[in-house]
Amino acid sequence: MDASSQSRSGIHRLPDKILSSIFLNAINECDDSAEVAFLPLTLSHTSSRWREVCVSTSFLWTSIYMSLPYRHNQSTIQNQLVYLRTWISRSDSSPLNIHLDFRDPEWDWNEETHRFTSTWASQIFSIILPHANRWKHIEFIADTWAPIHVFLAASAANSSESLQLLESMALSRCNAYFARKGELFKPVSLREPVPLFGGARLPSLRGLSLAGVHH
């Protein structure tokens, strides 16, 4: 038996609990949000046993990362929603770290033509918001106001009791033009402020960043 075969057989002899701990340590060593989120998928595709261990280890699936896909069509949107439901399900009752970055480097600065629409945002938040009681960290970055307004309006229904774990939150509207001197808020139809989580008390919140956001 060569060294490679011996190594593989040694790994396969490890108890599930130890293998699970190794996977968790590997994720904890990652600094990149996207890498942390997708490493469980890579590990679970290594072998049938690794898949079983990964799927049964809820803490591996607690980081959710979503961004604007290179190709934008109904199929890619549905694939994103399937991914989101899968991570939510496999994370079971564990606290969630959510990073949503829907900036588009090719955007033409027209609020009405951005690829990340309110409808798309609504689909995402309809999946995430029922699990607000598990949010630990959430960051949402967008170019336009409409998706952020969707988030604020939808989350206003959450009571303070459902947000006990939330430690940090960042909302960023990355459109510098709306903040120019003399510039009026756009879109005008959404200019009325929305209270963050309906004004609910957030007992564990220690970090809050609002950029280009009025609430």
Are both 42 and 83 inside the same structural domain? no
- Among 61, 85, 106, identify where a domain stops: 61
Structural domain range at position 25: 1-61
Domain identity same for 132 and 186: yes
Strand partners, 96: 135
Q: What whole-number distance in Å separates Cα of residue 55 and Cα of residue 80?
A: 19
Domain shared by 52 and 110, yes or no: no
pLDDT at 88: 97
Indicate whether 86 and 172 sit together in one domain: yes
pTM of the model as a whole: 0.86
Residues 122 and 141 placed together within one structural domain of the fold: yes
Per-residue model confidence (pLDDT) at position 159: 59
Q: Are residues 78 and 26 both part of a single domain?
A: no
pLDDT of residue 56: 95
How high is the pLDDT of residue 1?
Answer: 43
- Structural domain total, the chain: 2
**Residue ranges in the chain modelled with pLDDT below 50:** 1-7, 215
**Whether residue 80 is found in the same domain as residue 43:** no
Q: Choose the final residue of a domain: 61, 92, 108.
A: 61
* Domain boundary, last residue among 42, 61, 80: 61
